[in-house]
Amino acid sequence: MDALARAIAGEVAARLKVDTAPAGRTTISVPEIADRLGLGEETVYEMLDGNEIPHIRHGRRYVISRAAFLRWEDTIGEDSYRTSRNEAGQGVV
């Protein structure tokens, strides 16, 4: 029964985008980001290369702050929505 409860809790957390990282983890990995966004890892790397996701580059490694990513995730689409409404003469909400 414990395995079923853990599986259900994991599914609920994924659907609600709850941060289930162990305490003390200040970074987030590309596979974790891909899972949270429902994208492939290659797409996440393309987004990192395009500076769409906040990160620091250390040599060939991407260092992604969990806090910065979660703030970014909470605001996905807000700028483009405001810009498109403003360009359409509808004003900014």
Answering whether pTM is above 0.85, one says no
Helical spans, DSSP H, in 1-93 = 2-16, 30-37, 41-49, 66-74, 78-87
Q: Any idea where the domains of the chain sit in the sequence?
A: 24-93
- For the cut 50, the answer to whether the pLDDT of residue 93 exceeds it is no
> Given this structure, which CATH class describes domain 24-93?
mainly alpha
Higher confidence at residue 13 or residue 46?
A: 46
